[in-house]
Amino acid sequence: METRPPQAAVSWKQKAYSIIFESDTPAGRAFDIALLWAILLSVVVVMLESVRSINAAYGPYLRAVEWGFTVLFLIEYIARLVVVRRPLTYALSLLGIIDFLSIAPTLISLVLPGSQYLLTIRTLRLLRVFRIFKLGRFVGEGEFIVRALKASRYKILVFLTAVLTLVVVIGTLMYVVEGGQNGFTSIPKSIYWAIVTLTTVGYGDISPVTVLGQSLASVLMILGYAIIAVPTGIVSAQMATPTVPASAPPAFKQVICHVCQATEHRPEAEYCWRCGEKL
């Protein structure tokens, strides 16, 4: 709960702003929860539309509901642009782009049928849900995971490079060993097989037939089985290590920028350190 200096005349724009972008007033919270349900429902509608039997029976109704949601989200998008102090900053922020992508496919589907299924990208809007609990535990825990992954990013990159090199080399060997008649029709396809095997997914759409191929595959599997210990070890070790000194975090203001979702503002900050929006 940030303390806000008492102000004589709060404009309608500021009121609308606090409803749409914030969630610490009853109205703002109600707006966020309504939005959440609208997103969930619209995603379900898009999913149902893709099921042939349901589409055959209720297709027109579903498409009508979908258009309804799109119009709703379009209005919401325009409202956000109007009430925010810096419309361009919002439009180009990650959340702004997701908001836009959540409307675009319906319009595009007029020209390019089928693209409306991309509307499930609306699921990404659910990320806003965390804002409702913004002072709660979720943000902190989510940040803990992200911080641990960030701290391990160079290790993970080195690991991924090693994995990709291994997959290319073994994929090629399998292409030479097994050949096209056993499903290894090209090197890219063999690399795909190597990834399927190393990650222990193992569809079985392509599998080695020759003795040499099965031996090579066995080596790859045992490698994949042992190698998985590496990323796990990296992240475990990172998470077990106290990364931030205990005194530092409470020194930040418990506020999230509504435009760019930046956190870790200085206690006395009045503007976002990243995009300059008023906090």
Chain residues 227-246 in contact with a copy of itself, contact rule CB under 8 A: 228-241
Give the integer Cα–Cα distance in Å for 162 and 133: 40
> Closest distance between a copy of itself and the C-beta of residue 247, in Å?
19
Count of Cβ atoms closer than 10 Å to residue 260 Cβ: 19
| 3-class state of residue 278 by DSSP | strand
> Closest distance between a copy of itself and the C-beta of residue 73, in Å?
17
Q: Which residues contact 54 (CB under 8 A, 6 or more apart)?
A: 48, 62
Give the integer Cα–Cα distance in Å for 231 and 162: 12
Span 177-236, contacts to a copy of itself by CB under 8 A: 180, 185-189, 191-192, 195-205, 207, 211, 214-215, 217-218, 221-222, 224-226, 228-236
Q: Which residues contact 48 (CB under 8 A, 6 or more apart)?
A: 54, 55, 58, 62
CA quadruple 6, 10, 13, 17: dihedral positive or negative?
A: positive
> Closest distance between a copy of itself and the C-beta of residue 18, in Å?
26
> Total residues contacting a copy of itself (rule CB under 8 A)?
85
> Closest distance between a copy of itself and the C-beta of residue 58, in Å?
14
In the set 10, 64, 94, 145, which binds a copy of itself (CB under 8 A)?
145
> Closest distance between a copy of itself and the C-beta of residue 250, in Å?
18
> Closest distance between a copy of itself and the C-beta of residue 82, in Å?
28
Give the integer Cα–Cα distance in Å for 259 and 277: 7
Q: Of 83 and 174, which CB lies nearer to a copy of itself in the complex structure?
A: 174
Give the integer Cα–Cα distance in Å for 253 and 270: 10
In the set 10, 30, 57, 154, which binds a copy of itself (CB under 8 A)?
154
Span 53-112, contacts to a copy of itself by CB under 8 A: none
Q: HSE-up of 275 (CA within 13 Å, CB side)?
A: 24
Give the tokens for residue 25.
């007033």
Residue 30 sits in the site that holds a copy of itself (CB under 8 A): no
Where residue 4 falls (left for φ over 0; alpha for ψ -120 to 50; beta otherwise) is: beta
Q: Of 27 and 156, which CB lies nearer to a copy of itself in the complex structure?
A: 156
> Closest distance between a copy of itself and the C-beta of residue 275, in Å?
24
Q: Of 124 and 269, which CB lies nearer to a copy of itself in the complex structure?
A: 124
Q: Of 77 and 192, which CB lies nearer to a copy of itself in the complex structure?
A: 192
